[in-house]
Structure 1
Amino acid sequence: MCSNAIKSGTNNPIGMCSKAIKSGTNIPIGMCSKAIKSGTNNPIGMCSKAIKSGTNNPIGVCSNAIKSGTNNPIGVCSNAIKSGTNNPIGMCSKAIKSGTNNPIGVCSNAIKSGTNNPIGVCSNAIKSGTNNPIGMCSKAIKSGTNNPIGVCSNAIKSGTNNPIGICSNAIKSGTNSPIGMCSKCHKIGYK
């Protein structure tokens, strides 16, 4: 345990530091407040108001943090910008998330763009992608190919498959809208 200390080394498995700068290769736990941590393997590494950069950061709980890396499977961040390839869960408030695989990705006031976003619950969000099977959005603009359910309030939805799509005060345009109940809305489509 160190207060106001600078610690540098290779193996620092626990090493709790307040207001410390820690740099090294293996810092498996390393809880730091107001710290800058950089390294390759930082599996847990909880940091408040910290900038973390590295390759493997599987959990990495950060508040007001900028996280960039390749593998960030969970990565709960508030007011954070996260960019990476694999971010399967990645809950972010007021965050900009861009990536290829973001299967769940719960975001409030977020802009999400990607290929696979099967659930992706977003409030006041702009979501664009190919596969968005559920994707509940309030006051959201959703555009994509497959949007089978897609419950939206005050939303503009455009796409090919929108089988149910319940919208209030919404403009819906698409090919398949078999049910599509709308109050005070314009519906443009074939069905």
Structure 2
Amino acid sequence: MFEEILTRISELSPIWIYLVIFFFAFIENLFPPSPSDMVVVIGGSLVGASVLHFVPVLIFATGGSLVGFLTAFAIGWQIDKRILHSGKIKFLTIESIEKVENAFRKYGYFLIIANRFLPGTRAVISFFAGMSRLNVHFTVLLSAASALIWNSILISLGMVFGENIQKVDAFLNTYNQIVIVATVVFILFLIIRYFIKKNKNKFQN
């Protein structure tokens, strides 16, 4: 399967391959899940085959990731302003929204740094970063750094494994499953702790 994809992609003009890499890196932030990581790995394998060059692949992959992140960031910013704080959504109180935003303002920059390493949550993190009005300049810097490091790793894996990128695909699938399970467990822990603390305060009052 991957051999066929590699053959077909390598037949394209390099500029089209770069644009495909940019597109998948971009769209992942808006319509997950997307095979963007594997597309970047394939780009890396084409670098190893001298079809593409490392720096342009890195620039297009990182550029797509950054533009996609900032698009979701802008959507979160506007939705928070026009909808969430307007009181139009009855089941969401302004108080609960502000609690989420305050928590994200406290830990959001750390999440942005880890953003590219957290599959399944990338679109959520960028959206909440915008909703929480995080500093745009820091957001751009940190999201670009995160994408740059992650994409460098993916391209390098593609270069090392060449056409045998099924091993990379298997590794990424395992990695994604572990991260998703760990994220779910962590969220459940926070929810349980919240209700325990809430009930404790109720009994004390």
TM-score between the two structures when normalised by the length of structure 2: 0.25
Higher strand share: 1
Higher relative contact order (CA 8 A, sep 6+): 2
Larger Rg: 1
TM-score between the two structures when normalised by the length of structure 1: 0.27
